[in-house]
Amino acid sequence: MDISKNHYDIEMLAKGLTPKRLERMRQVLAHRTRYLSIVLEDIYQPHNASAVLRTCDAYGVQDIHVIQKNNVFTPNPEISLGSAKWLDVHKYANTPTEQVYSTLRQQNYKIVAAALREDATTPDMLDVSSGPIALIFGSELNGLTEQALTQADETICIPMLGFVKSFNISVSVAIILSQLMPKIRALGDAWHLSNREADEILLEWLHSDVLHAPKGAG
């Protein structure tokens, strides 16, 4: 995408917003990251999936990758509070998990699977300094598939001290992000979007916000 054209389109579309609204977009964008992304494998409860989007928006995670096998990912706007509008949700319909892993690894992601396993690391111990991380979570009913677990680079789990052995997925994502994101933001500039990425996302937001302007505007 041409950077100069991006700047021109941003300038034109921004005229349809109040300065306060544009400044708010820029403030949120300054905290967005692709250093950590969330992957959801065949989530079947739409309210939990929608809550995950809301959590990702709150913590500044821009990309959510959704592997759709038996279930279609359809966010509930009353729960997500419109957060899907501000995120990049990548859907993989009938795509093998290993193929999604391959796509993510081509983008330099380490695949970390959330699962109750004896060899799993805890969020406070996970090394975030070695490069971008894709955290994958499974369905509330059965968890991750064996394929997703065996082909992941590492596993992570939340220590459980009571009788129950798991949280629902939206709570799990929130707990793990609450521990990982401060460590990631302490890395310096590594977690920031590039200028090109920031412009492309801002342009998408403006298209969405300014009267649903067509992408050829400007």
Q: Which element (helix H / strand E) includes 136?
A: strand 133-137
Closest-CA residue to 25 (of 36, 14, 12): 14
Separation in Å, CA 18 to CA 1, 13, 23, 26, 58: 26, 11, 9, 13, 23
For 38, the token pair is 């969330």
Q: Write out the binding residues for S-adenosyl-L-methionine.
A: 158
Rg (CA), the chain: 18
Q: What distance in Å separates the CA atoms of residue 208 and residue 78, rounded to the nearest whole number?
A: 18
For 169, the token pair is 């997925």
- CB count in 10 Å sphere of residue 111: 20
Q: Write out the binding residues.
A: 158
C-beta of residue 39 within 8 angstroms of C-beta of residue 104: yes
